[in-house]
Amino acid sequence: MAWPSVTEMSDRRAKLLETLKAAAKTVLAKLRAIHLANLQFLADVLPKGLYARALIIIIAPIVVLEGVIAFVFMERHWQNVTRKLSESTARDIAALIEIYDATPQVTDHDRLIQTARDRLNLSMQILPPADLPEARPKPFFDLLDGELSRGISRHVQRPFWIDTVGQSRHVEIRVKHPNAILRFLAVRAQTYASNSHIFLLWMVGSSVILLTVAILFLRNQIRPILRLAEAADAFGKGRAMADDFRPRGAREVRQASQAFLEMRDRIKQHVEQRTTMLAGVSHDLRTVLTRFKLELAFMGEGPEVQSLKADVNEMQHMLEDYLAFARGDGGEEAKPTNLRELLEEIHDETQVYGTPIELKMRKRREDLIVPLKRQAFKRAITNLVSNAVRYGDQIVIRAATEGSWVRIEVDDNGPGIPASERANVFKPFYRIDRARNQDESNSGLGLAIARDIAKSHGGEITLGESSMGGLRAIISVPL
């Protein structure tokens, strides 16, 4: 038989190592997948709120500590004491049985019974010979039953029957003797440590008190954080904050609340300064455009004059778009607004475009009232409609509620916007005229203005494909 060469052995070793590496990688990949799955399961099961997590942080150590204390108490104290008490009772019974065996000729065992009662605190009866009762089911917590049974088996060494399940204050023990049935009644506290429930009650009661204090304390500490979150959410949606909001709670929470209030004041001051500046710029530019119009009116009629008038009108339209984009919502406060009335008003006013526009809303028992900056939101919807009118000849406006949101859709049957360009069209001054009419005057700010207004309400605008074959613009705002 030919032995393999060194080269063949090296190749086999290399293949074996590669196989082992591949198997190890597979096992590690499976363990990693199991670990990630367990982490994901824990992340899904554990509470998400700060209040619940803080309670778990407090409750978990208390529960673990109580469990350890209870285990140590049961294992080291209660079980040992119960074992010693049961052992003592079993020894007393064994001693009485030995005395009974030592005096078989005595027919009257009153002295023995009296000694058991007075000296050993055991009630003893001598019954006629008979069979022991049937064994009763073991109790669920059979510490006493087990310890007493082991003690009697070790010291008495005779058939016996015990009853520890009853609700009385005694434990019954019967021992089968050739001449009689020896019945013993022992006080339950004599056979096991009966004061353990006091310890458990104290432990549970103190835990309840600690948890109650912790819950009340945490609730007071979490409330300022919740109020800060509500104030930030209201400010982000352009709604008025609660009048009684002020920094409260722990030092860190008060610092965060104070920083939020200062940030809010700076933002408001910035918006007011910008609005004031833009109002002055708008007034000055409109004055110049008005002079242009007057000068053109005195120049008479002609192709050049008509072209100049068209340029002035386009310049004025673009100026209004620029100022509207820079001004944003103009510092308008959100107020309860009837959405149906607002959409019907927009529908009536956009009829001047001459394009068929249809409004569809689900019938409701009560009018849908939404906190909105009415003029700003109206401008956002009007921008979407005017954008649809520019490129389509059939427009549909739909409005409905989805959970805690209001969803307004504007569909057209125009050429639409490619999916790759839908994120770009929201950029200021961005134009995509390859798929749409290049001759139309367009400042590229309509969708940018609409998106800014939607965001100021805490909402968003998305674009998709319309069921009519064109573009679907969706504006969603919270109720």
Residue 343 has pLDDT above 50, yes or no: yes
The pLDDT of residue 435 is 41
Cβ(194)–Cβ(87) under 8 Å?
no
Nearest Cα residue to 350 out of 306, 388, 407, 297: 388
**Cα distances (angstroms) measured from residue 105 to each of 17, 99, 100, 101, 102:** 88, 12, 10, 9, 9
CATH architecture, range 246-327:
Orthogonal Bundle (1.10)
Q: What top-level class would CATH report for the domain 333-478? A: alpha beta
The pLDDT of residue 97 is 84
Cβ(191)–Cβ(146) under 8 Å?
no
Residue 243 has pLDDT above 80, yes or no: no
Q: Where are the domains of the chain?
A: 9-45, 47-235, 246-327, 333-478
The pLDDT of residue 439 is 44
The CA-based angle 21-24-30, given to 5 degrees, is 145
Residue 252 has pLDDT above 50, yes or no: yes
Q: What's the mean per-residue pLDDT of the chain?
A: 77
**Joined tokens for residue 2:** 């030919």
User: Which range has highest mean pLDDT (7-21, 172-186, 240-254, 296-310)?
Assistant: 172-186
